[in-house]
Amino acid sequence: MRSIVFATVWASLFSHLTASPTLTDPKHLSYKRSSMTPITIKGNAFWQGDKRFYVRGIDYQPGGSSGMEDPLANETVCKRDIAEFVKLGVNTIRVYMTDNSVSHDVCMGALADAGIYVIIDANNPLYSINRLNPEPSYNSEYLQSVFSTIDAFSKYDNTLAFFSGNEVVNDDIESTLAAVYVKATTRDMRQYIASRDHRKIPVGYSSADVNSNRIPLAHYMNCGPDDQRSDFYAFNDYSWCNTDMERSGWNQKVKQFTGYGIPIFLSEYGCNTNGPQRDFGEVKALMSDSMTHVYSGGLVYEYSAGPNMFGIVNITSGGADEMLDFDKYRSALAANPAPNGDGGCTLTSNSMPCPTKDANWLVDGTSLPPMPEKAKVFMANGAGTGPGLKGEGSQNAGDGDSNSGTTTAPAATATATTSASTSKASTSKSTSTSTSTSTSVTGSATTTTATPSSSKNAAGNSVGGPVSQGPFAVTGVFVAFAVIGTLLL
């Protein structure tokens, strides 16, 4: 009898050691805190109930662009900084780095109490598309991490949106080939949100502002069938350097994006090359009727000071010390409130024509590759516990799926090699992507030097391996010992 019991125990242990990630059902998630009106999209604008919503915020990565730290998982850090956000008067923050294996209830609740929304980058340096070799990095391990991030934040009413990538395409012409991976990932994220019965949280892309591909990339992300299009589009713009609409070229960008059909906002802005202080004149422009019919606000880069000198507070052991730019930005927000009414927006959305291949846009074709076979199970069963920020990484994990390897196109083979993205001079942020499409492009790309409108490698090129099974093995050991202890009693 005892041998049978112990056989049962060890069978239980083995099953836990080899178990797949725990599946999650969003309907069974319990979280109650201050409720906020979820942000929705109508036409080319964001809405807070029946009121037009403008993004008036700041980019938040207090651990620095190279640190693998989640500020929303650290109660001390987030509460320190939320007090500063309230003083600033922002209504939104963007968070580049989150750990999808831990709870964010405390910090997301504190942000909700302060009336602050959050835009989450769904990628991190370990789990992102590799611009140097995007096709194999689009795999089930990557999507499991992305989907787990969606699961982690979908329960919060103040999750405003998800970014599917950041500056994956930059000023290297060959990097335009990675756009198909960005678009496929965007498609997959939107499908996952719908399949898992999550609230319809908007998904979009954060682009570098590159003259040669600004419009083709924007049109590409908003063309084709509805289920493949982005919900919104954002870009990182550093062309306003204590200047005005005309000299910055912003007036021309408004013309270029008029009629775009979905919300547009600046995911990063705030040039710092024109003197030691920024005047943040962009806020007045963004809130004026010269822009509100097309743009829905923006996020200043960035909250905490680093080597790139963009920050507005200096993080010390004693707390967050406000810098001169902190007062400048606070004053600009206070002097230029969000306008009343609809700001001249359009109330119906529309798609754009897909760009055609030319010297600056190498994507030829519009079809996207299918989702990796192993990732399709997540649609029905959930993505399970995420790998967090200590997983093995996904860029070289591969799948053995039918769409791994070379993707054939109508006219040629896509062999893009471009590195994963980030942003800002001497910063590296998380990236994103899409999967290979019926592209007819060839070539190999080179890594470019980061500028305020391009990007450097964020995720690296040699990270690989499947999701770590360590946490599940530990769980199995604890279960086994609990059973044995019970039997011995």
- pLDDT digit string, tens, across residues 438-456: 333 322 232 333 333 333 3
Q: How confident is the model at residue 110 (pLDDT cuts 50, 70, 90)?
A: very high
- Whether 262 and 313 have beta carbons less than 8 Å apart is answered as no
Three-state DSSP string of the chain = CHHHHHHHHHHHHHHHHCCCCCCCCHHHCCCCCCCCCCEEEECCEEEECCEEECEEEEEECCCCCCCCCCHHHCHHHHHHHHHHHHHHCCCEEEECCCCCCCCCHHHHHHHHHCCCEEEEECCECCECCCCECHHHHCCHHHHHHHHHHHHHHCCCCCEEEEEEEECCCCCCHHHHHHHHHHHHHHHHHHHHHHHCCCCCCCEEEEEECCCCCHHHHHHHHCCCCHHHCCCEEEEEECCCCCCCHHHHCHHHHHHHHCCCCCCEEEEEECCCCCCCCCCCCHHHHHCCCCCCCCEEEEEECCCECCCCCCCCEEEECCEEEECHHHHHHHHHHHHCCCCCCCCCCCCCCCCCCCCCCCCCCCCCCCCCCCCCHHHHHHHHHCCCCCCCCCCCCCCCCCCCCCCCCCEECCCCEECCCECCCCCCCCCCCCCCCECCCCCCCCCCCCCCCCCCCCCCCCCCCCCCCCCCCHHHHHHHHHHHHHHHHHHHC
Q: Give the pLDDT confidence of 326-343 residue by residue, as tens digits.
A: 999 999 999 999 999 999
137-141, 284-288, 329-333, 393-397: range with lowest mean pLDDT: 393-397
Among 300, 294, 310, 204, smallest CA distance to 250 is for: 294
Band the pLDDT of 33: cuts 50, 70, 90.
low
pLDDT tier for residue 461 given thresholds of 50, 70 and 90: very low
pLDDT for residue 477 is more than 70: no
For residue 214, how many C-alpha atoms fall within 13 Å in the half-sphere facing its CB?
A: 18
pLDDT in the model for residue 63: 78
Which residues touch 211 (CB under 8 Å, ≥6 apart)? none
Percent of the chain with pLDDT over 90: 68
Q: Flag whether pLDDT at 470 surpasses 90.
A: no
Most confident by average pLDDT, 23-32, 289-298, 442-451: 289-298
Q: What is the pLDDT of residues 224-244, one digit of tens each?
A: 999 999 999 999 999 999 999
Q: Would you list the domain boundaries of the chain? A: 1-21+477-489, 23-466
Torsional sign, CA 382, 421, 307, 162 = negative
The confidence score (pLDDT) of residue 488 equals 41
116 band by pLDDT with thresholds 50, 70 and 90: very high
**Average pLDDT over every residue of 154-183:** 95
What is the pLDDT at residue 396?
A: 80
The residue among 483 and 311 whose pLDDT is bigger is: 311
Residue 284 CB: number of other CB atoms within 10 A? 16
Write down the pLDDT at residue 318. Answer: 85
The pLDDT score that the predictor gives to residue 452 is: 33
Confidence band, pLDDT 50/70/90 cuts, at residue 98: very high
pLDDT band of residue 42 (cuts 50, 70, 90) is very high
pLDDT at 7 over 70: no
Structure tokens at 402: 């039918």
What's the whole-model pTM score? 0.80
Rounded mean pLDDT, 122-151: 93
- Per the annotation, the verdict on 268 as an active-site residue is yes
Average pLDDT over residues 40-46: 98
32: pLDDT confidence band, cut at 50, 70 and 90? low
pLDDT (tens digit per residue) in 72-97: 999 999 999 999 999 999 999 999 99
Chain mean pLDDT for the chain: 81
Residue 218 has pLDDT above 90, yes or no: yes
CATH class belonging to 23-466: alpha beta
Catalytic, out of 268, 282, 302, 392: 268
Per the model's pLDDT, the better-predicted residue between 32 and 162 turns out to be 162
Q: Is the pLDDT of residue 486 over 60?
A: no
| pLDDT tens figures, 392-423 | 999 887 764 544 433 333 233 333 333 333 34
Question: Which letter, b or e, does each residue of 143-160 get, where b requires 16 or more Cβ atoms within 10 Å of its Cβ?
Answer: bbbbbbbbbbbbbbbbbb
Check 84, 167, 302, 392 and give the catalytic one: 167
Q: Looking at residue 395, what is its pLDDT? A: 85
Say what the pLDDT of residue 11 is: 39
Which of 486, 482, 489 minimizes the C-alpha distance to 16?
482
